[in-house]
Amino acid sequence: MTTETNTTTATTPKVKTVLDDMPARALFDSIEAATAFLTAAQGDETTPGTYSDFNSYPVAFTGCTEDGDFDPAVYTDDMQIAVAKLTERGDGANSSTVKAIVIYPSPTVQAFMESAMGTAWIAAIVAKEANHVAVRNLRKAKDADDFAAAIENMPQTVADYTTAGRESSGGINEAYNDLWQIIKKAIGQQSKAFALANLSKKELRKAMESASYAAEMYPRLETITNKAGEAKSLFAVAATFGSMIAKQQGKDPAVFDKMLATRDEKTIDVADEGEEEFDLEAMAAALVATPAAEGTATDSTGEEAAAE
């Protein structure tokens, strides 16, 4: 008789450290909340702390009493309590270290706005950050298409500025630049008309961004009917597919999600083409190159002209 013994291997919980696991900056609205966080982080003689090495770092604590408690005269209703880790970057990869844990009062936005000097300070910070956001993708443009796309996607509203931080991770264009050819090929394999259009990187993006532009320039691709009799846009399908594969590959899908959210409202001017009469004779003449134009310059006798 064989006796089977089941053994269970206990999974050792991951040991958390300040460097790897503690938030870079945590804000608390009350002394009680901040105290609870710090008490849990450092632990005591009977209970391990949340972060195993918390007590091994110096603490820079401003606005405390002689007993080491939060001074209510400093941490008023106008102040949040910030607990941050101060890191120091080393020379190589994965060489950062924690220099200190810092506890300080951080004014609320309302407190800044109620102060004339605070308002001026915020205005200067906003102007500087707005400039960074506005030109960020222009700096990252690698070619003319990137530059044109960056201009088209420069922020124009408060909503544009407040969402630009997420989109700018690696550049708003990064996911599109990496995936546009994959998207073009995949949709082309499902639609012969889409494949025959052979859209450039710039044109594909414009059509994905603006339904009106796509309808005017590529009506056969923008307005089609599926087997169920439902109208759909191949460019909307392309944007949806782009968002899906961006997520699968760990890229930020924001650029594709924005296309889907705003393409019905966004307009892109279509260049006015074909208004002039075609001068066929002039076009043909331009294609006929004379020996003198293409070869060595000659004089009236056919001899090579002397160089001056």
Q: For 35-93, how does the pLDDT look when each residue is reduced to its tens digit (9 = 90+)?
A: 999 999 999 888 999 999 999 999 999 999 999 999 999 999 999 999 999 998 877 66
pLDDT for position 163: 65
- Quote the CA–CA distance of 209 and 14 in Å, as a whole number: 45
Higher per-residue pLDDT: 169 or 155: 155
pLDDT for position 186: 94
Q: Are 137 and 173 in contact (CB under 8 A)?
A: yes
Query: Which CA distances in Å does 50 have to 11, 35, 36, 57?
Result: 18, 14, 12, 14
HSE (CB half, 13 Å, CA atoms) of 266? 19
- Quote the CA–CA distance of 71 and 73 in Å, as a whole number: 5
pLDDT, average across residues 104-133: 94
Higher per-residue pLDDT: 139 or 182: 182
Query: Which CA distances in Å does 250 have to 52, 92, 246?
Result: 30, 25, 6
* Least confident segment among 22-31, 94-103, 234-243, 292-301: 292-301
Q: Considering the chain, what is the average pLDDT of its residues?
A: 83
pLDDT band (50, 70, 90) for residue 290: very low
Q: Return the amino acid letter for 116.
A: A
Q: Are 84 and 59 in contact (CB under 8 A)?
A: no
pLDDT band (50, 70, 90) for residue 273: very low
> Side by side, which strands form the sheet with 97-107?
25-28, 79-88, 97-107, 59-61
Check whether 164 has a pLDDT greater than 70. Answer: no
pTM of structure? 0.52
Higher per-residue pLDDT: 281 or 303: 281
Q: What are the domain boundaries of the chain? A: 18-108, 115-271
pLDDT for position 259: 92
pLDDT for position 60: 97
